[in-house]
Each structure stands twice: as C-alpha cells, then as structure tokens.
A and B are shown apart, each in its own frame.
Chain A
Amino acid sequence: MTSLTGTGVLLRFSLRRDRVLIPAWVAVNALMILSMPNTLKGLYGTESERTDLLHQVATNASFRALIGPVFDDSLGALTAWRVGVYAGALAAVTSLLVVVRHTRDEEESGRQELIASGAVGRRASLTAALLAAGVANAVLALLVVAGLAGQGAAGALAFGLGLAGVGMLFATMAAIVAQLTESARLARGLAAAVLGAAFVLRAAGDSASDDGSSALTWLSPLGWLENLRPFADERWWVLLLFAAAVGVQALVAYELAGRRDVGMSFLPTRPGPAAGRLGTAGALAWRLQRGAVLGWSVGFFLAGVVYGGLTDGVADLVGDNENAREIFERMGGQSGLTNAFLASMTGMLGLIAALYVVASVLRLHGEETSARAEPLLAAPVGRLRWAAGHLTVAFAGSALIMLLAGLGFAVGYGREVGPILGACLVQLPAIWVIGGLTVLLYGLAPRLAPAAWGVAVAVLLIGWVGPALDAPRFVLDLSPFGHLPKLPGGGMEWGPVLVLLALAVVLAGAGLAGLRRRDLTT
C-alpha cells in the first residue's frame, strides 16, 4: 500500500500539533458527561421524581425538541438523555475541526505541498487526519465507557460507541467537504451547517414523536444516537448504521481526493471585484468581521426564539421539583419560576456573548501577528483609529446580538417584551468588562492576549457550574456577571451596573494607551 506511505509519521505529527486541542475538547466533553449522573441524582434523587420527569418529558414537545425523548428512568438512561445530543454535537465539532485542520487548512496554507513532495503516499494525509479524529473519538468513548460503567456496562458501551460513531460520521463528512472547497473556513462552515441541520431534523422529529420513531429523527445522526437507546434496552444494530455511513463517506472522500490536484477543489473560488469601495480602517474592520457578526446575530435570535418558546413549558417541568426550582432560582432570580428561568437564560446568553466579544477584540491580535496590520499602520492610519474599527464591531456587536436575543424572546414568548429586553441588555456591562480586559491584555502584553479566552471560559464555568455546585460567594463574585441585577423579576440596581461600565471603560482605555506606546509585534 504505497499510497499510505508515511501515514504513521503524519499521524504522530498531527497528534503532536493537536496536543492541546484534542485533549481539551475531549476533556470538556467527558467532564460534561461524567458529572451528569451526580447532578441528576441531586435533582431527581427518588424513583417518583424520576417517573414524574419521564412523564413530563413525554408530554412536553418543546423539551423533547431541545433534548430528545427519554426512554427509561434509570440514572444512566437519564444521563444519556440529558447530555446525548450535546455530547454528540461536541464530538462532531471536535472531529470536523481536526479533520479540516489537517486537510484543507494544510493545503490552503501551502504546507501540504511541502509534505506531499516528501516520501508520502497519496492517501496518507487524509488517512492521518481521519485517524487523528479516530484517536480523539476513541479516547472519548473509553472515558465514557469506563466512567459510566457503574450505571450499567452495556449502556455505557453503547453510549460510548454511539458518541464515537457520531464523531467519526462528522469526521468523514468533513473529509468530503474538505475536497469541495478551496477555503478551510468555508469547509468548516459547511460541515457545521450539516451538523446544524442534523440538530434541527432531530429536534423536529422529536417534537412530533415521544419515542424517537419519527422519520425526521432517523434522518439525523444525532437521532441515531438517541435511538441506540443506551441504558434502555440497547438497540445494538443502530451501530451498524454508523459503521456503514462512516465507511461510505470515507470511500467518497478518498474517491474525490484521488480525482483532484493538491490545493484545488471541486467548488472553485469565485473571483472578487477588480476595484474596491473600502476606504477607511473602520470599513475594513466591518468587512472582516461582518460574517461573524451575522452568524452570531442569527444564532442569538434563534436561541431567543427557542428559549422564549420553552418558557411556558418550564413551569410544568420544573414546577413540582423542589431541587430544580432551587437551582434555577440560585442561577437567576427570586420571584417566580418563569422570571427565574428567563433570568437564567438571558444570563447564559450573556455569558456566551462574552465569547463573542473576546473573539472580536482578538481580531486585532490576529491582524497584528499575521503581519496584515503592519502595512496598514504604515499608511496614514493611527493605531487608535485602526483599533477603534475592530473595537466598535466588538462592543456594538455584543449589544446588537443581545438585543436580537431579546427580540427572539419576544417572538418565542410574546409577553413582557420590555422587561426581557432589559434583562438581555443588562448583561452588557459584564460582557464589556470581559471585552475591556481583552483589550487590556492585547494592548499591554500582546503575547498574553489569547489568555482572554481562558478568562472567558472561567467566567462561563463560574456562571454555569458555580450555582449548581453551590460555590462560595467569593468565587461567584470573581465574575462580572455575578454582580448584575437579576432581571426580569429582581429590581434594577444601577450601582453595580455603573461600576462595571466604568471598569470596562478603564480597562479598554488602559489597553489602548498601552497599544499606542508599545512596539508592533511581527
């Protein structure tokens, strides 16, 4: 098999390059899965509480759409139900990122040319990429099987294999998409769109049927995972579906790869305009970021519609469960379960918007390290004006997406439009503090700028996991989101909001002052 010569070397090389990426994604996924039995035990400790839950899920279409149907009241089955779709999606994202990174990314950057000129077989690169994804999924499956074996060995095995199956299905799908486009970014976007479609199909199918038997559910690999029914009289033959799909997609990917030249693609890049209208640094910043802003806007609006639609059902589901009510109230608000749910959902969107603001501010860092900023700053563009373009997109953009989330709630829930909009917008001071901190890191210590991601993830964990774990007050206080008034329901407190706003301004200002004084790093 000379077409595979060098696969081993390339695989080791890929795994070395991914020594942070793969373990991080797999660890987050495994943690989410393996901590779930305990969380559920706290929420639904008794048999009767679990039976209630089962009944409520069976009768509530919006919850089935969001999470899927539940097939048994054992802790194992509830775990697979609660995390299944999301763990599967996370495994899919990990896999498609790994595969695109080691195939189309390499070709687009020109590195593949150098590798392909070595003693490397024609199929070695694609094989190594798929094997790297295989390693990630195998480790995840092993962790899940070992970690959930206490809930039932057969169920753990089925769930682990099912997750790995979803992962490899999207790995091979990404391998096909990577043959089609010339741009890695577009390949990732297309693969993620397929994943989104899989989610929507399953959600539509599950809202129509309470046992996963809808044809729409069967069209989605995420639906296959739930229909494997781990911990609930497993249907092992569903694994054959995964195996067959992975095999067919891999064959198609190899076939396509064999029919094209290195660096070329089946969907050619369209030429751009011969003349441009961009004339200012601000217009350029908007042009570079508008795609991301559009994506986040759509996502936040849809999230608002979905959560808004769920709001009425929440009282039915959680109403009878004292523990769940308590957690919602700790996460969100004091008065009334509906308000508590709305407050915790808008708070969660606020936390996610912190990721947007970090990504958007760090565009400055990306432009600088890629040396694209250098000739721009050698033109009559001051550093502050250059930074202002991207920061406007970052800060105004976060306001835009929170506003759209609020409008989404208005569409999905239809009442209390004003208070809910307020609840969305009150997140902004905390989001902007994270943005300001990112500007500070970038301006004063550009090498440390990516650490802003660490800050955002820490804030996310404090916000999501902190209340559920009953974390001490001072930990919750570390996050700017911990100081926001709990809206809707709670009273508006201007004090902390104004302090956070001032803090954001000071942080960003100090960062910009640093940027003005320091050397450009290239």
Chain B
Amino acid sequence: MTKAITVAGLHKSFGRTHALDGLDLDVEAGEVHGFLGPNGSGKSTTIRVLLGLLRADSGAAQVLGRDPWRDAVEVHRRIAYVPGDVTLWRNLSGGEVIDLYGRLRGGLDTGRRAELIDRFELDPTKKGRTYSKGNRQKVALVAAFASDVDLLILDEPTSGLDPLMEEVFQRCVEEERDRGRTVLLSSHILSEVEELCDRVSIIRKGRTVESGSLADLRHLTRTSVTAELAGAPNGLSRLPGVHDLDVQGKRVRLQVDTDQLDGVLRQLSESGVRSLTSTPPTLEELFLRHYQEDGAA
C-alpha cells in the first residue's frame, strides 16, 4: 500500500518550547487515521508542518509523495483542510466562502455542495460574523467534503457540532473512505475515533507513543476481567501480567495484559466459574494510561 503521509523524526521548536520532539507518523492511502493526543502535545503543530505552514527544524515529512514545504501549492491541490477553530471574513456569506475554497482547489461538485449544505442544515446566506462556532465549522466542512481531493486533514473538526451533526459528520467521513480518500482525523472525541478510524497514532509531548490498528493496540494492553467463582480464588496474584487484582469473597476483578489472558482463565476455571465478563480496553483506557504515565513521569 502506498503512504499518504510519512513523517519520521520530526523536530520543531518555538523558542525554548519543543513542540515536536522526534515525531513519527504513517498514514496509508485510503485509510481513516486517528491522530490523538492531549492538548499541547503537538497535533496542530504536526498538521501545520504537513500543510507547509511551518518549516520543521529537522526530520522528514512527505505528503502524497511530496515535500509539503517545497511543493506546498502542488500538495495543496490534492488536499482539503479543516482547522479546529474556523474564522471567517465578517462580511462574506458562508456560501461565498465555500465557493471560494472550492474554486481555489480547482472546482466544486455543485450537487455534492447542495447535498452537504442540506445535510448539515447550514444557512449559506448568513454573513461570517453571525455564524456560531459550530456553523463556522460546518462552512469549512462543506467546503472540504465537496472538494475533489485525495486527502482530508481535519484538525478537531467537530468540537462545536451537536450530536446530530456529529452523526452527519461521521457518515461523511465514511463516504470519503468509501470513495478511496484518505483522512487524517485529529480528535479528542474517542468514541468518534473508535467509530471511524482504521488506525490511530497517539502522541505525547511531541513524540509518537503508540501507533497501529485499534486491534493491535488493544492486544498490547490489558483486558478487564470480572468473575463470580464457585470457591475462593487462589494463585491469581502470582500469575504474570495481572494488575489491579481485587478479590471480595468469591468475586474477582482484575486487569490482565491481553497476551496473558489464557493463563488467568485457566486459573479461574480451577475454582469453578459461575459467571465471567471480559471487556477489551476502550480507547479511553488506552489513552488514559498514557496520560497517567505522563502525569507520573
């Protein structure tokens, strides 16, 4: 598979702040890639480097096979970008802005434009200054989704949308994937990422800490197990990979590294299992683990 975005060892400093500290990122063509990280971890800085708005201090970045700084205009012909905080010109209407971006990117699918305006329930005749935050985002989203491009870069695009519009947004992203387009989705909304993304990269302090498909990531982490046993459990605490063990009579709750699940189940069944629930880690838990390590470090 070809890569839509490759980033290796990216560094970028602003004065004494190291915004990016050796960041890596690989986005395959045709996938929806989640880009996660706490505030200030360098997501937007990375995106600005990918857009050629910032020049990296060192490291390599390629977007659609080209250098985003040197070939900015060529790269931009094939991408659409939605910033997290959309500001519009006060006296231009939303429709004018959508058409401006469409023409700049080399034309707009007018049917798709009308359909998207309808689905997002956007009034295109309002002036820029009168839109709410969510509506300003809709303007940028309609402009992006109606453009004929290969790669969409979305930087927290749904922070101002209500749940219904969030739903519309998710459908639109799925349609983009079905058309074979690539999406880089930076987001804080983990359910959205879980729903949409084929693969995710988690970054922290300007560095990539996890990257892979959700299944891969889950495999690397812990599964929660809750069991009701026939008799008192024993030997669980000696097993490798068991964490947060909590035994109350015949009730057991524990976390286990996913590759050690087998041993735990065998040990449990020795005491006779009455009921068992096992849940894979949610993205949130994955995420929190990195945050908390972050805090502990």
Contacts and interface: CB of A to CB of B under 8 A. Distances in A.
B22 interface: no
B104 A370 contact: no
Given A378-B81, A380-B106, A381-B104, A519 B54 contact: yes
Interface string B130-170: 10000000001000000000000100000000000000000
B73 interface: yes
Interface string A263-286: 000000101111111111100100
A522 B83 CA distance: 12
B86 A375 contact: yes
B96 A185 contact: no
A276 B48 contact: no
Given A269-B127, A278-B99, A372 B87 contact: yes
Contacts of A149: none
A426 to B, nearest CB: 36
Contact of A379 (B96, B101, B129): B101
Given A108-B129, A276-B93, A375-B86, A284 B100 contact: yes
Interface size bracket, B side: 35 or more
B286 interface: no
Contacts, number: 116
B55 interface: yes
A185 B90 CA distance: 10
Given A280-B103, A520-B53, A275 B90 contact: no
A21 to B, nearest CB: 21
Contacts of A281: 104
Contact of B85 (A108, A279, A371): A371
A182 B91 CA distance: 12
Given A108-B129, A519-B55, A272 B96 contact: yes
B89 A378 contact: no
Given A375-B140, A378-B81, A520-B54, A182 B100 contact: no
**Chain A interface secondary structure, helix, strand, loop or mixed?**
loop
Contacts of B140: 375
Contact of B83 (A108, A280, A375, A380): A375
A110 to B, nearest CB: 9
Nearest to B106: A380
B97 interface: yes
Given A183-B129, A371-B85, A371-B87, A380 B99 contact: no
B83 A374 contact: yes
Contacts of A273: 93, 95-96, 125
Nearest to B125: A271
Contacts of A272: 91-93, 95-96, 125-127
A192 B52 CA distance: 42
A375 B81 contact: yes
Residue among A278, A281, A518 with the most chain B CB within 10 A? Answer: A278
B53 A278 contact: no
A8 interface: no
B73 A275 contact: no
B88 to A, nearest CB: 7
A315 interface: no
B126 A276 contact: no
Nearest to A518: B55
Nearest to B14: A519
B96 A278 contact: yes
Contact of A288 (B89, B98, B101, B123): B89
A279 B103 contact: yes
A515 B97 CA distance: 25
A302 B133 CA distance: 42
Select the residue from A108, A273, A276 with max chain B CB neighbours within 10 A: A276
A292 to B, nearest CB: 12
B3 interface: no
A116 interface: no
Contacts of B100: 276, 278-279, 284
6 contacts: A273-B95, A278-B92, A278-B96, A380-B74, A380-B105, A383-B72
The 7 A-B pairs with the shortest beta carbon distances in the complex, nearest first, are A272-B93, A276-B96, A279-B103, A271-B125, A378-B81, A276-B99, A380-B76
Given A272-B92, A272-B95, A375-B86, 16 more contacts: A182-B130, A183-B90, A183-B91, A269-B127, A271-B125, A271-B126, A273-B93, A273-B125, A274-B125, A276-B99, A277-B96, A279-B103, A284-B89, A284-B100, A374-B48, A374-B53
